[in-house]
Structure 1
Amino acid sequence: MFTIAVQQQQYKTYILSDETVGSQLEVVPERGGIITRWRIQGKEIFYLDTERFANPDLSVRGGNPILFPICGNIPDNTYTHNGQQYTLKQHGFARDLPWEVTDQVTEDKASLTLVLNSNEQTRAVYPFDFQVLFSYELQGNILEIRQQYKNLSSTSLPFSTGFHPYFLTDDKTGLKFEIPSQQYQDQITKEIHPFDGNFDFNRDEIDVAFKQLTSQSASVTDNSRKLKLTLDYGNKYPILVFWTLKGKDFYCLEPWSAARNSLNTGEHLTVLEPGSSYTASVRLTADFF
Protein backbone atom coordinates (compact mmCIF):
# COMPACT_ATOMS: atom_id res chain seq x y z
CA MET A 1 0.00 0.00 0.00
CA PHE A 2 1.26 3.46 -0.92
CA THR A 3 0.52 6.58 1.13
CA ILE A 4 1.50 10.26 1.30
CA ALA A 5 1.18 12.06 4.62
CA VAL A 6 1.91 15.68 5.46
CA GLN A 7 3.58 16.70 8.73
CA GLN A 8 4.30 20.19 9.98
CA GLN A 9 7.83 19.90 11.34
CA GLN A 10 10.11 22.94 11.13
CA TYR A 11 8.99 22.90 7.50
CA LYS A 12 5.97 21.30 5.88
CA THR A 13 7.16 17.76 5.15
CA TYR A 14 5.63 15.24 2.74
CA ILE A 15 6.17 11.61 3.75
CA LEU A 16 5.87 9.08 0.94
CA SER A 17 5.55 5.44 2.06
CA ASP A 18 5.51 2.00 0.51
CA GLU A 19 4.11 0.18 3.52
CA THR A 20 4.50 -3.26 1.95
CA VAL A 21 8.30 -3.13 2.12
CA GLY A 22 8.64 -0.45 4.81
CA SER A 23 10.30 2.23 2.67
CA GLN A 24 9.77 5.92 3.31
CA LEU A 25 10.78 9.19 1.72
CA GLU A 26 10.62 12.69 3.24
CA VAL A 27 10.42 15.74 0.97
CA VAL A 28 10.54 19.38 2.05
CA PRO A 29 9.32 21.55 -0.87
CA GLU A 30 9.98 24.94 0.74
CA ARG A 31 13.63 24.05 1.50
CA GLY A 32 14.78 23.68 -2.10
CA GLY A 33 12.41 20.83 -3.01
CA ILE A 34 14.82 18.51 -1.24
CA ILE A 35 14.51 14.88 -0.25
CA THR A 36 15.81 14.96 3.32
CA ARG A 37 15.39 11.32 4.32
CA TRP A 38 15.03 7.92 2.70
CA ARG A 39 14.53 4.94 4.97
CA ILE A 40 14.07 1.25 4.28
CA GLN A 41 12.82 -0.78 7.24
CA GLY A 42 14.00 1.98 9.55
CA LYS A 43 17.53 2.15 8.10
CA GLU A 44 18.63 5.54 6.80
CA ILE A 45 20.05 5.80 3.29
CA PHE A 46 20.91 9.50 3.38
CA TYR A 47 23.07 11.50 5.77
CA LEU A 48 21.60 14.78 7.06
CA ASP A 49 23.31 17.57 9.00
CA THR A 50 20.24 18.58 11.02
CA GLU A 51 21.82 21.77 12.40
CA ARG A 52 22.53 23.16 8.93
CA PHE A 53 19.11 22.04 7.74
CA ALA A 54 17.44 23.94 10.59
CA ASN A 55 19.22 27.17 9.59
CA PRO A 56 17.62 28.67 6.44
CA ASP A 57 20.70 30.86 5.89
CA LEU A 58 22.91 27.81 5.30
CA SER A 59 22.87 25.44 2.35
CA VAL A 60 21.67 21.96 3.26
CA ARG A 61 24.42 19.41 3.77
CA GLY A 62 22.59 16.12 3.48
CA GLY A 63 19.67 14.46 1.77
CA ASN A 64 19.61 14.95 -2.00
CA PRO A 65 20.03 18.64 -2.96
CA ILE A 66 19.05 19.76 -6.46
CA LEU A 67 21.67 21.41 -8.70
CA PHE A 68 20.26 23.92 -11.21
CA PRO A 69 20.99 25.94 -13.36
CA ILE A 70 24.67 25.10 -12.77
CA CYS A 71 26.65 22.25 -11.23
CA GLY A 72 29.64 23.24 -9.14
CA ASN A 73 30.85 26.82 -9.20
CA ILE A 74 32.06 29.38 -11.72
CA PRO A 75 35.13 31.61 -11.23
CA ASP A 76 34.32 34.49 -8.86
CA ASN A 77 30.67 33.28 -9.03
CA THR A 78 30.18 35.48 -12.11
CA TYR A 79 29.35 35.05 -15.77
CA THR A 80 28.45 37.38 -18.62
CA HIS A 81 25.35 37.17 -20.81
CA ASN A 82 24.57 39.70 -23.58
CA GLY A 83 27.24 42.01 -22.24
CA GLN A 84 25.84 42.06 -18.71
CA GLN A 85 27.55 40.46 -15.71
CA TYR A 86 25.58 38.23 -13.33
CA THR A 87 26.38 36.56 -10.02
CA LEU A 88 25.42 32.94 -9.56
CA LYS A 89 26.60 31.02 -6.52
CA GLN A 90 27.79 27.41 -6.37
CA HIS A 91 25.31 24.79 -7.64
CA GLY A 92 22.76 27.49 -8.54
CA PHE A 93 19.61 28.56 -6.74
CA ALA A 94 17.17 25.63 -7.04
CA ARG A 95 18.39 24.09 -3.78
CA ASP A 96 17.66 27.30 -1.85
CA LEU A 97 14.26 28.35 -3.22
CA PRO A 98 10.79 27.09 -2.25
CA TRP A 99 9.17 24.64 -4.66
CA GLU A 100 5.44 24.07 -5.00
CA VAL A 101 3.66 20.71 -4.90
CA THR A 102 1.46 20.21 -7.97
CA ASP A 103 0.47 16.53 -7.84
CA GLN A 104 0.33 13.49 -5.55
CA VAL A 105 -0.16 9.86 -6.61
CA THR A 106 -0.62 6.77 -4.41
CA GLU A 107 -1.69 4.22 -7.00
CA ASP A 108 0.99 1.62 -7.89
CA LYS A 109 3.63 3.93 -6.36
CA ALA A 110 3.96 6.97 -4.11
CA SER A 111 4.73 9.97 -6.31
CA LEU A 112 5.06 13.65 -5.49
CA THR A 113 5.46 16.28 -8.22
CA LEU A 114 6.99 19.69 -7.50
CA VAL A 115 7.54 22.75 -9.65
CA LEU A 116 9.99 25.65 -9.65
CA ASN A 117 9.10 28.60 -11.87
CA SER A 118 11.35 31.50 -12.79
CA ASN A 119 10.55 34.67 -10.90
CA GLU A 120 11.97 38.09 -10.13
CA GLN A 121 14.53 36.59 -7.76
CA THR A 122 15.85 34.06 -10.29
CA ARG A 123 15.87 36.54 -13.19
CA ALA A 124 18.12 38.87 -11.19
CA VAL A 125 20.90 36.26 -11.35
CA TYR A 126 19.81 34.20 -14.38
CA PRO A 127 17.92 36.27 -16.97
CA PHE A 128 15.69 33.55 -18.39
CA ASP A 129 12.14 32.26 -18.00
CA PHE A 130 11.81 28.56 -17.24
CA GLN A 131 9.77 25.91 -15.50
CA VAL A 132 11.30 22.86 -13.80
CA LEU A 133 9.11 19.90 -12.81
CA PHE A 134 10.34 17.05 -10.62
CA SER A 135 8.46 13.86 -9.76
CA TYR A 136 9.83 11.85 -6.83
CA GLU A 137 8.62 8.27 -7.19
CA LEU A 138 8.97 5.64 -4.46
CA GLN A 139 8.30 1.98 -5.15
CA GLY A 140 9.82 -0.75 -3.02
CA ASN A 141 13.55 -0.12 -2.59
CA ILE A 142 13.70 2.16 -5.67
CA LEU A 143 13.65 5.94 -5.79
CA GLU A 144 13.17 7.46 -9.24
CA ILE A 145 13.45 11.18 -9.93
CA ARG A 146 11.83 12.23 -13.21
CA GLN A 147 12.59 15.75 -14.40
CA GLN A 148 11.29 18.11 -17.04
CA TYR A 149 12.93 21.42 -17.91
CA LYS A 150 10.97 23.92 -20.02
CA ASN A 151 12.28 27.05 -21.74
CA LEU A 152 9.62 29.75 -21.44
CA SER A 153 11.98 32.46 -22.71
CA SER A 154 12.09 34.02 -26.15
CA THR A 155 15.83 33.24 -26.23
CA SER A 156 17.86 30.03 -25.83
CA LEU A 157 18.12 28.64 -22.28
CA PRO A 158 21.61 27.45 -21.23
CA PHE A 159 21.82 25.27 -18.12
CA SER A 160 23.25 22.24 -16.41
CA THR A 161 21.55 20.13 -13.79
CA GLY A 162 22.36 17.42 -11.32
CA PHE A 163 22.00 16.01 -7.83
CA HIS A 164 24.21 16.01 -4.75
CA PRO A 165 23.10 12.95 -2.72
CA TYR A 166 24.76 12.49 0.68
CA PHE A 167 24.95 8.78 1.48
CA LEU A 168 25.34 7.75 5.10
CA THR A 169 28.31 5.50 5.89
CA ASP A 170 29.92 4.19 9.08
CA ASP A 171 33.27 3.20 7.61
CA LYS A 172 34.54 4.61 4.30
CA THR A 173 37.35 2.05 4.16
CA GLY A 174 34.67 -0.61 3.72
CA LEU A 175 33.25 0.99 0.58
CA LYS A 176 33.59 -0.84 -2.73
CA PHE A 177 33.13 1.30 -5.85
CA GLU A 178 31.98 0.20 -9.28
CA ILE A 179 32.28 3.36 -11.34
CA PRO A 180 32.42 2.91 -15.12
CA SER A 181 35.60 4.89 -15.71
CA GLN A 182 39.33 4.27 -15.54
CA GLN A 183 40.28 7.85 -14.73
CA TYR A 184 39.10 10.97 -12.95
CA GLN A 185 39.98 14.65 -12.81
CA ASP A 186 40.82 16.14 -9.46
CA GLN A 187 38.51 19.16 -9.32
CA ILE A 188 40.91 21.05 -7.06
CA THR A 189 44.24 20.51 -8.88
CA LYS A 190 42.68 19.75 -12.33
CA GLU A 191 45.09 16.79 -12.67
CA ILE A 192 43.96 13.55 -14.34
CA HIS A 193 44.54 10.35 -12.35
CA PRO A 194 43.95 6.67 -13.12
CA PHE A 195 41.16 5.05 -11.09
CA ASP A 196 41.54 1.52 -9.77
CA GLY A 197 38.37 1.50 -7.67
CA ASN A 198 39.95 3.00 -4.54
CA PHE A 199 40.27 6.41 -2.88
CA ASP A 200 42.70 7.67 -0.24
CA PHE A 201 40.35 8.52 2.63
CA ASN A 202 43.21 9.99 4.68
CA ARG A 203 42.95 13.12 2.55
CA ASP A 204 41.07 16.05 4.11
CA GLU A 205 38.85 16.37 1.03
CA ILE A 206 38.27 14.31 -2.08
CA ASP A 207 36.60 16.14 -4.97
CA VAL A 208 36.93 14.36 -8.31
CA ALA A 209 34.99 14.18 -11.57
CA PHE A 210 34.64 11.08 -13.74
CA LYS A 211 34.14 12.31 -17.31
CA GLN A 212 34.98 9.23 -19.38
CA LEU A 213 32.00 7.08 -18.42
CA THR A 214 31.56 3.80 -20.29
CA SER A 215 28.05 3.00 -19.01
CA GLN A 216 25.05 4.69 -17.41
CA SER A 217 25.11 2.85 -14.11
CA ALA A 218 27.39 2.93 -11.07
CA SER A 219 27.23 1.29 -7.66
CA VAL A 220 28.75 1.52 -4.21
CA THR A 221 28.73 -1.40 -1.78
CA ASP A 222 29.01 -0.39 1.88
CA ASN A 223 30.21 -3.50 3.70
CA SER A 224 29.91 -1.86 7.12
CA ARG A 225 26.19 -1.24 6.56
CA LYS A 226 25.53 -4.29 4.36
CA LEU A 227 24.10 -1.96 1.71
CA LYS A 228 24.56 -1.81 -2.04
CA LEU A 229 23.45 1.40 -3.74
CA THR A 230 23.01 1.46 -7.50
CA LEU A 231 22.75 4.74 -9.38
CA ASP A 232 21.28 4.67 -12.91
CA TYR A 233 21.55 8.05 -14.58
CA GLY A 234 20.94 7.70 -18.33
CA ASN A 235 22.79 9.48 -21.12
CA LYS A 236 21.69 12.93 -19.90
CA TYR A 237 24.33 12.71 -17.16
CA PRO A 238 27.80 12.23 -18.72
CA ILE A 239 29.68 13.16 -15.51
CA LEU A 240 29.83 11.62 -12.05
CA VAL A 241 31.38 13.60 -9.19
CA PHE A 242 32.65 11.95 -6.03
CA TRP A 243 33.05 14.17 -2.97
CA THR A 244 33.69 13.57 0.70
CA LEU A 245 35.33 15.20 3.72
CA LYS A 246 37.59 13.50 6.23
CA GLY A 247 35.88 12.80 9.57
CA LYS A 248 32.33 13.09 8.15
CA ASP A 249 29.97 10.10 7.94
CA PHE A 250 28.99 10.64 4.32
CA TYR A 251 30.12 10.32 0.75
CA CYS A 252 28.51 11.91 -2.32
CA LEU A 253 28.21 10.34 -5.75
CA GLU A 254 26.67 13.03 -7.92
CA PRO A 255 25.29 12.78 -11.47
CA TRP A 256 25.96 16.03 -13.37
CA SER A 257 24.73 16.93 -16.84
CA ALA A 258 27.70 19.24 -17.43
CA ALA A 259 31.07 20.10 -16.00
CA ARG A 260 31.93 22.82 -13.52
CA ASN A 261 31.96 26.27 -15.21
CA SER A 262 30.10 24.95 -18.27
CA LEU A 263 28.07 28.17 -18.41
CA ASN A 264 31.30 29.84 -19.50
CA THR A 265 33.09 27.00 -21.31
CA GLY A 266 30.08 25.33 -22.96
CA GLU A 267 31.36 21.85 -22.01
CA HIS A 268 28.30 19.51 -22.13
CA LEU A 269 26.08 22.57 -21.57
CA THR A 270 22.40 21.98 -22.40
CA VAL A 271 20.90 24.74 -24.54
CA LEU A 272 17.12 24.66 -24.98
CA GLU A 273 15.48 26.54 -27.82
CA PRO A 274 12.50 28.82 -26.97
CA GLY A 275 9.37 26.82 -26.17
CA SER A 276 11.15 23.47 -26.05
CA SER A 277 11.55 21.08 -23.12
CA TYR A 278 14.01 18.47 -21.93
CA THR A 279 13.41 15.36 -19.84
CA ALA A 280 15.77 13.29 -17.73
CA SER A 281 15.59 10.59 -15.06
CA VAL A 282 17.78 9.30 -12.24
CA ARG A 283 17.10 6.06 -10.40
CA LEU A 284 18.53 4.93 -7.05
CA THR A 285 18.18 1.34 -5.87
CA ALA A 286 19.05 0.40 -2.26
CA ASP A 287 19.68 -3.28 -1.52
CA PHE A 288 20.49 -4.40 2.04
CA PHE A 289 22.20 -7.78 2.23
Structure 2
Amino acid sequence: MFSIAIQQQQYKTYILSDETAGSHLEIVPERGGIITRWQVKGEEILYLDAERFANPELSVRGGIPILFPICGNLPENTYTLNGKQYILKQHGFARDLPWQVIEQTTTNKATLTLVLSSNEQTKAVYPFDFQLLFTYELQGNTLEIRQQYHNLSSTQLPFSIGFHPYFLTGDKNQLEFAIPSQEYQDQKSKEIHPFNGNFDFNRDEIDFAFGQITSQSASVTDNSRQLKLTLDSDDIFSMLVFWTLQGKEFYCLEPWSAPRNALNTGEKLTVLEPGASHTASVRLTANFF
Protein backbone atom coordinates (compact mmCIF):
# COMPACT_ATOMS: atom_id res chain seq x y z
CA MET A 1 0.00 0.00 0.00
CA PHE A 2 1.33 3.39 -1.01
CA SER A 3 0.49 6.74 0.54
CA ILE A 4 1.54 10.39 0.57
CA ALA A 5 1.11 12.52 3.67
CA ILE A 6 1.91 16.18 4.30
CA GLN A 7 3.38 17.43 7.55
CA GLN A 8 3.92 21.07 8.43
CA GLN A 9 7.28 21.01 10.16
CA GLN A 10 9.61 24.01 9.80
CA TYR A 11 8.84 23.49 6.11
CA LYS A 12 5.98 21.69 4.44
CA THR A 13 7.21 18.10 4.15
CA TYR A 14 5.80 15.43 1.84
CA ILE A 15 6.12 11.88 3.16
CA LEU A 16 5.94 9.11 0.58
CA SER A 17 5.41 5.63 2.02
CA ASP A 18 5.41 2.04 0.88
CA GLU A 19 3.78 0.51 3.95
CA THR A 20 4.28 -3.07 2.78
CA ALA A 21 8.05 -2.61 2.43
CA GLY A 22 8.37 -0.33 5.46
CA SER A 23 10.02 2.37 3.35
CA HIS A 24 9.48 6.11 3.61
CA LEU A 25 10.74 9.17 1.77
CA GLU A 26 10.57 12.78 2.98
CA ILE A 27 10.81 15.67 0.52
CA VAL A 28 10.85 19.41 1.24
CA PRO A 29 9.96 21.27 -2.00
CA GLU A 30 10.51 24.81 -0.69
CA ARG A 31 14.04 23.99 0.55
CA GLY A 32 15.53 23.19 -2.84
CA GLY A 33 13.27 20.25 -3.65
CA ILE A 34 15.48 18.19 -1.36
CA ILE A 35 14.99 14.66 -0.13
CA THR A 36 15.73 14.91 3.60
CA ARG A 37 15.02 11.36 4.72
CA TRP A 38 14.83 7.85 3.29
CA GLN A 39 14.02 4.87 5.43
CA VAL A 40 14.04 1.22 4.39
CA LYS A 41 12.76 -1.42 6.83
CA GLY A 42 12.75 1.31 9.47
CA GLU A 43 16.47 2.04 9.01
CA GLU A 44 17.79 5.48 8.10
CA ILE A 45 19.69 5.52 4.80
CA LEU A 46 20.57 9.22 4.70
CA TYR A 47 22.46 11.59 6.97
CA LEU A 48 21.09 15.06 7.75
CA ASP A 49 22.68 17.91 9.69
CA ALA A 50 19.47 19.19 11.31
CA GLU A 51 21.01 22.45 12.54
CA ARG A 52 22.18 23.49 9.09
CA PHE A 53 18.87 22.40 7.57
CA ALA A 54 16.98 24.62 10.02
CA ASN A 55 19.00 27.68 8.98
CA PRO A 56 17.88 28.94 5.53
CA GLU A 57 21.08 31.00 5.27
CA LEU A 58 23.20 27.84 5.15
CA SER A 59 23.43 25.22 2.43
CA VAL A 60 22.00 21.89 3.50
CA ARG A 61 24.52 19.27 4.54
CA GLY A 62 22.59 16.05 4.27
CA GLY A 63 19.77 14.40 2.39
CA ILE A 64 20.05 14.51 -1.40
CA PRO A 65 20.67 18.07 -2.67
CA ILE A 66 20.14 18.83 -6.39
CA LEU A 67 23.05 20.24 -8.40
CA PHE A 68 22.08 22.56 -11.30
CA PRO A 69 23.22 24.29 -13.49
CA ILE A 70 26.75 23.43 -12.31
CA CYS A 71 28.43 20.72 -10.28
CA GLY A 72 31.17 21.82 -7.93
CA ASN A 73 32.48 25.35 -7.96
CA LEU A 74 33.83 27.84 -10.50
CA PRO A 75 37.10 29.75 -10.07
CA GLU A 76 36.14 32.75 -7.92
CA ASN A 77 32.52 31.65 -8.54
CA THR A 78 32.54 33.30 -11.97
CA TYR A 79 31.96 32.28 -15.58
CA THR A 80 31.95 34.26 -18.80
CA LEU A 81 29.20 34.17 -21.43
CA ASN A 82 29.20 36.31 -24.55
CA GLY A 83 31.85 38.55 -23.03
CA LYS A 84 29.91 39.13 -19.81
CA GLN A 85 30.90 37.79 -16.40
CA TYR A 86 28.38 36.13 -14.10
CA ILE A 87 28.65 34.96 -10.50
CA LEU A 88 27.31 31.51 -9.72
CA LYS A 89 28.01 29.87 -6.38
CA GLN A 90 29.03 26.28 -5.78
CA HIS A 91 26.68 23.60 -7.14
CA GLY A 92 24.33 26.23 -8.59
CA PHE A 93 21.00 27.49 -7.30
CA ALA A 94 18.53 24.62 -7.68
CA ARG A 95 19.31 23.32 -4.19
CA ASP A 96 18.43 26.68 -2.62
CA LEU A 97 15.26 27.75 -4.44
CA PRO A 98 11.68 26.69 -3.71
CA TRP A 99 10.22 24.06 -6.07
CA GLN A 100 6.50 23.61 -6.71
CA VAL A 101 4.57 20.34 -6.39
CA ILE A 102 2.52 19.68 -9.52
CA GLU A 103 1.55 16.01 -9.28
CA GLN A 104 1.39 13.10 -6.87
CA THR A 105 0.29 9.49 -7.33
CA THR A 106 0.00 6.36 -5.18
CA THR A 107 -0.80 3.77 -7.86
CA ASN A 108 1.74 0.90 -7.83
CA LYS A 109 4.31 3.29 -6.34
CA ALA A 110 4.39 6.61 -4.49
CA THR A 111 5.48 9.48 -6.73
CA LEU A 112 5.82 13.22 -6.31
CA THR A 113 6.61 15.58 -9.19
CA LEU A 114 8.18 18.99 -8.60
CA VAL A 115 8.96 21.82 -10.99
CA LEU A 116 11.53 24.61 -10.96
CA SER A 117 11.28 27.33 -13.59
CA SER A 118 13.60 30.18 -14.44
CA ASN A 119 12.74 33.56 -12.94
CA GLU A 120 14.32 36.97 -12.48
CA GLN A 121 16.46 35.66 -9.63
CA THR A 122 17.93 32.83 -11.71
CA LYS A 123 18.36 34.98 -14.82
CA ALA A 124 20.54 37.43 -12.89
CA VAL A 125 23.18 34.70 -12.51
CA TYR A 126 22.23 32.38 -15.39
CA PRO A 127 20.56 34.27 -18.27
CA PHE A 128 18.40 31.47 -19.69
CA ASP A 129 14.79 30.33 -19.68
CA PHE A 130 14.39 26.73 -18.51
CA GLN A 131 12.08 24.35 -16.72
CA LEU A 132 13.10 21.35 -14.61
CA LEU A 133 10.65 18.57 -13.76
CA PHE A 134 11.77 16.02 -11.17
CA THR A 135 9.68 12.99 -10.20
CA TYR A 136 10.60 11.15 -7.03
CA GLU A 137 9.46 7.52 -7.08
CA LEU A 138 9.43 5.23 -4.04
CA GLN A 139 8.77 1.51 -4.42
CA GLY A 140 10.05 -1.16 -2.05
CA ASN A 141 13.72 -0.61 -1.30
CA THR A 142 14.26 1.55 -4.40
CA LEU A 143 14.25 5.32 -4.83
CA GLU A 144 14.29 6.69 -8.37
CA ILE A 145 14.63 10.32 -9.41
CA ARG A 146 13.37 10.93 -12.95
CA GLN A 147 14.36 14.27 -14.43
CA GLN A 148 13.30 16.41 -17.39
CA TYR A 149 15.36 19.41 -18.47
CA HIS A 150 13.61 21.80 -20.88
CA ASN A 151 15.26 24.67 -22.75
CA LEU A 152 12.65 27.44 -23.08
CA SER A 153 15.23 29.93 -24.37
CA SER A 154 15.76 31.12 -27.93
CA THR A 155 19.46 30.29 -27.46
CA GLN A 156 21.36 27.15 -26.54
CA LEU A 157 21.14 26.09 -22.87
CA PRO A 158 24.48 24.97 -21.35
CA PHE A 159 24.48 23.15 -18.02
CA SER A 160 25.70 20.27 -15.93
CA ILE A 161 23.61 18.27 -13.48
CA GLY A 162 24.20 16.10 -10.46
CA PHE A 163 23.10 14.91 -7.05
CA HIS A 164 24.90 15.09 -3.72
CA PRO A 165 23.52 12.24 -1.56
CA TYR A 166 24.74 11.98 2.02
CA PHE A 167 24.68 8.38 3.21
CA LEU A 168 24.62 7.60 6.92
CA THR A 169 27.45 5.36 8.14
CA GLY A 170 29.06 4.28 11.37
CA ASP A 171 32.52 2.78 10.90
CA LYS A 172 33.92 4.03 7.58
CA ASN A 173 36.68 1.44 7.74
CA GLN A 174 34.00 -1.21 7.22
CA LEU A 175 32.92 0.27 3.90
CA GLU A 176 33.62 -1.68 0.71
CA PHE A 177 33.52 0.17 -2.61
CA ALA A 178 32.67 -1.03 -6.08
CA ILE A 179 33.37 2.12 -8.10
CA PRO A 180 33.78 1.44 -11.85
CA SER A 181 37.01 3.36 -12.35
CA GLN A 182 40.75 2.75 -12.27
CA GLU A 183 41.74 6.26 -11.20
CA TYR A 184 40.60 9.44 -9.52
CA GLN A 185 41.61 13.07 -9.34
CA ASP A 186 42.24 14.57 -5.93
CA GLN A 187 40.13 17.72 -6.10
CA LYS A 188 42.53 19.58 -3.80
CA SER A 189 45.91 18.76 -5.38
CA LYS A 190 44.48 18.08 -8.88
CA GLU A 191 46.76 15.03 -9.04
CA ILE A 192 45.60 11.80 -10.68
CA HIS A 193 46.01 8.60 -8.64
CA PRO A 194 45.26 4.94 -9.34
CA PHE A 195 42.26 3.58 -7.41
CA ASN A 196 42.59 0.23 -5.66
CA GLY A 197 39.15 0.21 -4.06
CA ASN A 198 40.19 1.75 -0.74
CA PHE A 199 40.25 5.20 0.87
CA ASP A 200 42.42 6.51 3.69
CA PHE A 201 39.86 7.65 6.25
CA ASN A 202 42.56 9.14 8.46
CA ARG A 203 42.58 12.16 6.15
CA ASP A 204 40.68 15.26 7.31
CA GLU A 205 38.81 15.41 4.02
CA ILE A 206 38.49 13.15 0.99
CA ASP A 207 37.32 14.84 -2.21
CA PHE A 208 38.01 12.59 -5.19
CA ALA A 209 36.56 12.76 -8.71
CA PHE A 210 36.29 9.59 -10.79
CA GLY A 211 36.14 10.95 -14.31
CA GLN A 212 36.73 7.81 -16.34
CA ILE A 213 33.94 5.47 -15.24
CA THR A 214 33.41 2.24 -17.16
CA SER A 215 29.86 1.49 -15.97
CA GLN A 216 26.76 3.39 -14.91
CA SER A 217 26.43 1.29 -11.76
CA ALA A 218 28.38 1.66 -8.50
CA SER A 219 27.84 0.27 -5.03
CA VAL A 220 28.99 0.67 -1.45
CA THR A 221 28.68 -2.11 1.11
CA ASP A 222 28.55 -0.94 4.73
CA ASN A 223 29.44 -4.02 6.76
CA SER A 224 28.88 -2.17 10.03
CA ARG A 225 25.24 -1.67 9.04
CA GLN A 226 24.88 -4.80 6.88
CA LEU A 227 23.70 -2.56 4.08
CA LYS A 228 24.55 -2.53 0.40
CA LEU A 229 23.67 0.63 -1.52
CA THR A 230 23.62 0.57 -5.31
CA LEU A 231 23.62 3.69 -7.47
CA ASP A 232 22.50 3.35 -11.09
CA SER A 233 22.43 6.36 -13.39
CA ASP A 234 21.90 7.24 -17.04
CA ASP A 235 24.77 7.88 -19.45
CA ILE A 236 24.62 11.65 -19.01
CA PHE A 237 26.18 11.12 -15.56
CA SER A 238 29.72 10.71 -16.82
CA MET A 239 31.53 10.79 -13.48
CA LEU A 240 31.30 10.08 -9.76
CA VAL A 241 32.59 12.17 -6.87
CA PHE A 242 33.38 10.71 -3.45
CA TRP A 243 33.44 13.13 -0.53
CA THR A 244 33.62 12.76 3.22
CA LEU A 245 34.95 14.57 6.30
CA GLN A 246 36.77 12.95 9.21
CA GLY A 247 34.62 12.64 12.32
CA LYS A 248 31.33 12.96 10.41
CA GLU A 249 28.93 10.02 10.08
CA PHE A 250 28.42 10.34 6.34
CA TYR A 251 29.97 9.69 2.99
CA CYS A 252 28.81 11.10 -0.34
CA LEU A 253 28.84 9.25 -3.66
CA GLU A 254 27.70 11.83 -6.19
CA PRO A 255 26.73 11.31 -9.84
CA TRP A 256 27.80 14.33 -11.92
CA SER A 257 27.33 14.95 -15.63
CA ALA A 258 30.43 17.16 -15.93
CA PRO A 259 33.45 18.20 -13.86
CA ARG A 260 33.99 21.45 -11.99
CA ASN A 261 34.23 24.58 -14.14
CA ALA A 262 32.55 22.95 -17.15
CA LEU A 263 30.58 26.14 -17.77
CA ASN A 264 33.90 27.83 -18.59
CA THR A 265 35.80 24.94 -20.18
CA GLY A 266 32.93 23.20 -21.97
CA GLU A 267 34.22 19.80 -20.81
CA LYS A 268 31.36 17.26 -20.89
CA LEU A 269 28.91 20.17 -20.74
CA THR A 270 25.34 19.41 -21.83
CA VAL A 271 24.03 21.91 -24.38
CA LEU A 272 20.34 21.86 -25.34
CA GLU A 273 19.11 23.51 -28.51
CA PRO A 274 16.22 26.02 -28.24
CA GLY A 275 13.01 24.17 -27.41
CA ALA A 276 14.84 20.89 -26.79
CA SER A 277 14.55 18.65 -23.73
CA HIS A 278 16.60 15.98 -22.05
CA THR A 279 15.42 13.22 -19.72
CA ALA A 280 17.57 11.38 -17.18
CA SER A 281 17.26 9.03 -14.25
CA VAL A 282 19.14 8.15 -11.08
CA ARG A 283 18.15 5.08 -9.07
CA LEU A 284 19.23 4.11 -5.55
CA THR A 285 18.61 0.65 -4.11
CA ALA A 286 19.14 -0.27 -0.44
CA ASN A 287 19.63 -3.96 0.39
CA PHE A 288 20.10 -5.13 3.98
CA PHE A 289 21.82 -8.49 4.45
- 1: CA distance, partners of 2:41 / 2:228: 15
- 2: CA distance, partners of 1:233 / 1:189: 28
User: TM-score if structure 1 supplies the norm length?
Assistant: 1.00
> Do residues 44 (structure 1) and 73 (structure 2) align?
no
> Do residues 142 (structure 1) and 127 (structure 2) align?
no
- Give unmatched runs, 5+ long, in structure 1: none
Q: Deviations over 1:228-264 (max 9, x none)?
A: 0000012110100000000000000000000110000
1:41 positional shift = 2.0
Aligned residue in 1 for 2:59: 59
**Identity across the alignment (%):** 79
- Give unmatched runs, 5+ long, in structure 2: none
Amino acid paired to 2:56: P
- 1: CA distance, partners of 2:199 / 2:62: 21
1:151 positional shift = 0.3
Q: CA RMSD in A?
A: 0.4
Q: Give the alignment of 1:1-289 within 5 angstroms.
A: 1-289=1-289
1:87 positional shift = 0.3
- 2: CA distance, partners of 1:102 / 1:286: 28
Q: Where in structure 1 do 4 or more consecutive aligned residues deviate above 2 Å? A: none
Q: Deviations over 1:101-149 (max 9, x none)?
A: 0000100000000000000000000000000000000000000000000
For residue 121 of structure 1, give the secondary structure of its aligned residue in structure 2: helix
1:42 positional shift = 1.6
For residue 203 of structure 1, give the secondary structure of its aligned residue in structure 2: coil
Amino acid paired to 1:63: G
1:83 positional shift = 1.4
- 2: CA distance, partners of 1:179 / 1:85: 37
Q: Deviations over 1:180-216 (max 9, x none)?
A: 0111011111100000000000000000100111111
Amino acid paired to 1:153: S
Amino acid paired to 1:185: Q
User: TM-score if structure 2 supplies the norm length?
Assistant: 1.00
1:16 positional shift = 0.1
- 2: CA distance, partners of 1:37 / 1:10: 15
Amino acid paired to 1:232: D
